[in-house]
């Protein structure tokens, strides 16, 4: 009997883990957020790397950004950085969208949706 | 007689063993082969351009978000450089990885020496170049890009040039370096001041002139490798003087540049223009207005046409310039996010990658008709094996 119960506990724990994993996978982003994810991964990625480990531009991983204030990062995204290769992206996004991007970069950035579907 | 029989039997057995090999490739050349980078999945497709088909995929190449491919002297092996510092030697015939090393933290490309024995990688982190044995990928020597005490620069625009040399530019240092690997374990380097923030470089098809495009100022640094003692000359100095430069959403690429009828066609940084330069005098001859900021400006091998793709947000277009009239004669929409173009060796067709439409489109360059589309996952660079025989590729 005790044996059975511990088995059930295992099953429940495993189910719980599966549910958490599934919700993390299926994080619901709006179509616009998907667009932003693609833009950041691909177009920002041409200088910062698809995985944000850096390139001509600096790395953008959570550990690189944790001590930088959100407002100044948002300003960099919107206006660029004079004297460097960083352009301003304000023609392509609102300030609120730039802030969403910055906060997500600090947390760990979502992958491109299409990347998941097509990686057989 | 008996010996002869034995040989024949051995030969038959060998043939049997070869054909019995499950995926054993049929005997074929590599002259019409190439690879397509699948940026997001870290794989390449091996393709052939005679029948316009894909022969197979090679996965496991790491982060290919800025990948470059160069070929072994015999055009059988592709050296694939990944962003994550991976250098992978891929056999085009078997579609297998022969050897793979992680040689740096952050890399953008590389090139093969004139004698074919060295493959040299250009790195951002740690900044510098490294030479590997092209056969084994063992490290032979390295040149750190330490331009001042303790200060290292990212290396851009590496090109193999005659005399076992490599020319390259240092982004932070604003210099062009030329390293001689005649004695492979003891490379010798010459340094030349070049200008602010060189972002890429190229060498002319004859291997004589190395040019570095400058991001921090309007102009191009030109070094005559036949007369290095004369130093770097600044050409097209201030080509946009007095005009507001547009924000640059993608750095132009200079490799695969366009040389046509004595004129060079180059991307203007931060402008919707292609610059035309008279290569006898190295002065500006014209500007061709185009749809966006050019990224690749590539001449069809006969030089009659120049094909141009563009930076975000105009990266769904490709334009074709007729070189004698310097007019745009065709505007194509191959798909979303066109990243690269590669001509077949004699230019009858061009392959164009569309990252966000997951396909490669093959155009007839005379009629502009679509000859084929091939599915590919987020394709970026396309590299055909005839690069093996060209200087600076």
On chain A, the residues whose CB falls within 8 A of the CB of B251 are 46-47, 56, 85
Contact A23, A34 (CB under 8 A): no
Q: CB B393: neighbour CB atoms within 10 A?
A: 21
Please report residues of B whose CB lies closer than 8 A to that of A50.
39-40, 63-65, 83
Task: Tell which residue, B254, B259, B213, B258, has the closest CA to residue B237.
Answer: B213
Question: What is the least distance, in Å, from the CA of A44 to any CA of chain B?
Answer: 8
- Torsional class of A17: left (φ above 0), alpha (ψ -120 to 50), beta (otherwise): alpha
Name the residue facing B248 among A42, A55, A85 (closest C-beta).
Answer: A85
With 60 as the cut, is the pLDDT of residue A26 above it? no
The whole-angstrom distance between A3's CA and the closest CA on chain B is 44
Nearest to A51 among B63, B125, B312 (CB): B63
Residues B266-278 have a mean pLDDT of 92
Interchain CB contacts (distance < 8 Å): A and B:
76
A16 and chain B in contact, CB less than 8 A: no
Mean pLDDT confidence for A7-21:
55
Mean pLDDT to the nearest integer, B49-61: 97
**Nearest residue, CB atoms, B355 vs list A42, A51, A56:** A42
Put simply, whether B56 touches A (Cβ < 8 Å) is no
Note whether B165 contacts A: Cβ–Cβ < 8 A.
no
| Lowest-confidence region among A105-114, B82-91, B358-367 | A105-114
Collect all residues of chain B within an 8 Å Cβ-Cβ radius of residue A81.
none
A49 CB contacts (<8 Å, ≥6 apart)? A55, A59, B63, B65, B66, B83, B106
Greatest pairwise CA separation for chain B in angstroms: 88
Residues 6+ apart with CB under 8 A from B8: none
Cβ-based burial of B229 (10 A; exposed 0-12, middle 13-18, buried ≥19): exposed
Tally of CA atoms within 13 A in the half-sphere of B331 that contains its CB? 11
Q: Which residue of A has its CA nearest to B247?
A: A87
Say if residue A5's pLDDT is above 80: no
Does the structure show a pLDDT above 80 at B375? yes
pLDDT at B301 over 90: yes
Using CA coordinates, name the residue in chain B closest to A83.
Answer: B216
Tokens describing residue A18: 């599966």
Who's near A7: CB < 8 A, 6+ residues apart? none
Residues B132 and B121: beta-carbon distance below 8 Å: yes
Residues B153-187 as b or e (16 or more Cβ within 10 Å = b): bbbbbbbbbeebbbbbbbbebbbbbbbebeeeeeb
pLDDT value for B352: 98
Q: Does residue A116 surpass a pLDDT of 80?
A: no
Mean pLDDT of B81-87: 92
Longest dimension (CA), chain A: 72
Quick one: what percent of chain B has pLDDT higher than 70? 92
Tokens 């250098």, residue?
Answer: B87
Query: Quick check: A50 and B355 CB within 8 A?
Result: no
Is the pLDDT score of A119 beyond 60? Answer: no
Average pLDDT over residues B64-76: 94
Q: For tokens 């802030």, name the residue.
A: A99
**CB atoms B358 and A119 under 8 Å:** no
> Taking residues B105-117, what's their average pLDDT?
94
pLDDT at B277: 93
Confidence (pLDDT) at B105: 86
- Which residue is closest to B311 within chain A, CA to CA? A43
Confidence of residue B25 (pLDDT cuts 50, 70, 90): low
Instruction: State whether residue B65 sits within 8 Å of chain A by CB.
Output: yes
pLDDT greater than 60 at residue A117: no
Q: Indicate the fold that domain A28-118 takes in CATH.
A: Cytochrome Bc1 Complex; Chain D, domain 2 (1.10.760)
- The sign one gets for the Cα dihedral B89, B94, B95, B100 is negative
The closest CB to that of A54, out of B106, B250, B251, belongs to: B106
CB interface of A with B, residues 74-113, below 8 Å = 80, 85, 87-88, 92, 112
Calculate ∠ Cα B75-B78-B84, nearest 5°. 160
Residue A114, pLDDT score: 52
Q: Name the band, by pLDDT with cuts 50, 70 and 90, for residue B19.
A: very low
ipTM at complex level: 0.76
Residue B247 pLDDT: 86
- Which residue is it, tokens 């599966």? A18
Query: What mean pLDDT is reported for chain B?
Result: 91
pLDDT tens track for B156-193: 999 999 999 999 999 999 999 999 999 999 999 999 99
pLDDT at position B66 is 82
Q: What's the pLDDT band for B34 if we cut at 50, 70, 90?
A: very high
Q: 3-state DSSP call for residue A96? A: helix
pLDDT in tens, B336-353: 999 999 999 999 999 999
pLDDT at A92 over 60: yes
Q: pLDDT tier at B18 (50, 70, 90 boundaries)?
A: very low
Q: Say if pTM beats, i.e. exceeds, 0.95.
A: no
Domain ranges of chain A: 28-118
A19 to chain B, closest Cα gap in Å: 26
């Amino acid at each position: 009997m005790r044996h059975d119960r511990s088995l059930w506990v295992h099953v429940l724990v495993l189910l719980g883990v599966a549910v958490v994993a599934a919700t993390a996978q299926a994080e619901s982003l709006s179509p616009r957020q998907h667009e932003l994810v693609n833009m950041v991964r691909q177009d920002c990625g041409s200088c910062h790397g698809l995985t944000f480990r850096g390139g001509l531009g600096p790395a953008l991983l959570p550990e690189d950004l944790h001590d930088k204030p959100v407002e100044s990062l948002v300003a960099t995204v919107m206006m660029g950085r004079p004297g460097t290769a960083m352009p301003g992206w304000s023609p392509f996004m609102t300030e609120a969208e730039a802030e969403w991007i910055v906060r997500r970069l600090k947390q760990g950035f979502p992958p491109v949706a299409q990347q998941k579907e097509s990686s057989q | 007689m008996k010996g002869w029989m034995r040989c024949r039997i051995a030969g038959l057995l060998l043939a049997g063993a070869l054909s019995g090999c499950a995926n054993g490739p049929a005997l074929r050349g590599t002259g019409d082969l190439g690879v397509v980078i699948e940026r997001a999945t870290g794989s390449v497709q091996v393709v052939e351009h005679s029948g316009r088909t894909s022969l197979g995929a090679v996965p496991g190449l790491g982060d290919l978000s800025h990948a470059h491919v160069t070929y072994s002297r015999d055009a059988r092996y592709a050296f694939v450089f990944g962003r994550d510092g991976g250098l992978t030697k891929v056999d085009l015939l078997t579609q297998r990885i022969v050897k793979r090393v992680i040689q740096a933290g952050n890399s953008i490309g590389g090139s093969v020496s004139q004698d074919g024995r060295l493959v040299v990688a250009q790195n951002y982190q740690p900044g510098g170049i490294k030479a590997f044995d092209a056969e084994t990928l063992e490290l032979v020597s390295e040149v750190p890009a330490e331009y001042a005490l303790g200060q290292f620069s990212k290396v851009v625009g590496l090109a193999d040039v005659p005399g076992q040399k490599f020319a390259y530019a240092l982004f932070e240092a604003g210099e062009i370096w030329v390293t001689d690997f005649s004695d492979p374990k003891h490379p010798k380097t010459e340094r030349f001041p070049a200008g602010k923030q060189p972002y890429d470089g190229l060498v002319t098809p004859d291997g004589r002139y190395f040019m570095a495009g400058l991001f921090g100022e309007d102009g191009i640094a030109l070094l005559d490798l036949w007369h290095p003692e004369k130093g770097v000359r600044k050409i097209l100095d201030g080509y946009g003087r007095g005009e507001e430069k547009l924000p640059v959403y993608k750095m132009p690429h200079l490799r695969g540049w366009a040389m046509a009828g004595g004129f060079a066609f180059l991307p203007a940084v931060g402008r919707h223009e292609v610059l035309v330069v008279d290569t006898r005098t190295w002065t500006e001859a014209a500007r061709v207005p185009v749809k966006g900021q050019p990224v690749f400006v590539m001449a069809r091998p006969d030089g009659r046409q120049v094909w141009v793709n563009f930076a975000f947000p105009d990266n769904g277009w490709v334009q074709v310039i007729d070189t004698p009239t310097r007019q745009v004669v065709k505007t194509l929409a191959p798909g979303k996010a066109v990243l690269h173009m590669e001509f077949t060796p004699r230019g009858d067709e061009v392959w164009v990658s569309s990252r966000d439409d997951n396909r490669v489109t093959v155009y007839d360059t005379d009629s502009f008709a679509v000859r084929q589309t091939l599915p590919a996952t987020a394709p970026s660079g396309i590299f055909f094996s005839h690069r093996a025989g060209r200087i600076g590729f």
